[in-house]
Amino acid sequence: MNHLVPELEAAAARWHAAGHPAPDVVLVAGSGLSVDLPGTRRGAEPLADWLPFPVRSVAGHAHALERIETPAGRQVVYLRGRLHGYQGYTPAEVVFPLRLAARLGARTLLMTNAAGGIRPEWPAGTLAAIADQINFTGSSPLHGEPPAGWGPRFPDMSAAYAPALRELARQHAAQLGFELPEGVYAGMPGPAYETPAEVRMLRTLGADLVGMSTVHEVIAARHMGLRCLVLSLVANPAAGVVDAPLHHDEVLEAGRAASGRLAALLTALLGDPRLNEPD
Ligand code: HPA
């Protein structure tokens, strides 16, 4: 796989030449979950301006790179609209913006995604923190030879979703008046939603949430030493959990309905000095 190393270095050099500050946090917003955040907007550009390959759009997914300074002075690279493998991007392309932010200095990855809920007790609209993942895509952004300087050849994934950040998120959610249950996320290739048989398999194998993103980003982030916190919105019960067909519109609508809670939680987290502490 082409890891786009010279392209990444060129983008990093362009960032520095523009005088942009080094980011502390990279925030990736999932499908229909691109909420506005408080702070000073230092700039917003089409994501395409930072990528060495063309961007293909999906309904409901904006693609912008925003630079935000939080009221506490934290520098955030906010990637609004992510790239998905099912759009034809290679895993290295999917993680390019994230790797750029890591290369520029970000130490924490905060992400959101929309997922199918495998647990019947989690209705659409439930927000959950991911505790662990299963990569069912059959691929990895570490296939081939990423530069040795980016991270270890065989990165440890045993605490990929930082326990301290999950606890922080749980505490903030409680203060905001809602629970934040935790679950295992299964990353599937998509773009077809799963069959009921696949969802039964995933449940048997220990998954609580299913989606078409996230797992490659978390692998790339852990490879580069970032701490990860990922919030999943249960956009719909996964196939077969209730007797109803799945529609992308339903996923987008659930995102709109949860955006207040999500924005409040992200705001609280970005304002918490513990977000960027080393483990
Ligand atoms: N399956 C996979 N991805 C999803 C789903 C789902 O049910 N809902 C939102 N993203």
Give the residue, by CA position, lying nearest to ligand 1 atom 5. Answer: 116
Pocket test for ligand 1, best of 251, 252, 256 (most atoms within 8 A of CB): 251
Question: Does residue 219 contact residue 142 with C-beta atoms inside 8 Å?
Answer: yes
pLDDT at 198: 97
Q: How far is the CA of 226 from the centre of ligand 1 (A)?
A: 26
Q: How many structural domains does the chain have?
A: 1
The pLDDT assigned to 59 comes to 58
* Confidence at residue 61, expressed as pLDDT on a 0 to 100 scale: 52
* Distance (Å, whole) CA 170 – CA 17: 39
Cα distance between the two ends of the chain: 31
Q: For the chain, list the strands marked E by DSSP.
A: 25-29, 40-46, 64-69, 75-80, 108-117, 127-135, 182-187, 209-211, 227-237
The answer to whether residue 170 scores a pLDDT higher than 60 is yes
**Mean pLDDT of all residues in the chain?**
92
16-40: pLDDT as tens digits: 999 999 999 999 998 678 788 877 7
Residue 58 CA to residue 193 CA, distance in Å, equals 15
**CB-count burial class (<10 Å; 0-12, 13-18, 19+) for 71:** exposed
For residue 225, the surrounding DSSP H or E stretch is none
Residue nearest atom 3 of ligand 1, based on CA coordinates: 211
pLDDT digits (tens, 9 = 90+) for 123-135: 889 999 999 999 9
pLDDT of 62-100, one tens digit each?
Answer: 688 999 998 888 999 999 988 999 999 999 999 999 999
- Give residue ranges with CB within 6 A of ligand 1: 114-116, 193-194, 210-212, 235-236, 238, 246, 251
CATH of the domain at 67: 3.40.50.1580
For residue 189, the enclosing domain spans: 5-276
Q: DSSP secondary-structure letter at 272?
A: -
- pLDDT given at position 58: 58
pTM to 2 decimal places: 0.94
- Quick one: which atom of ligand 1 is closest to the CA of 211? 3
Quote the pLDDT of residue 62: 61
What is the token pair recorded at 47? 């994501």
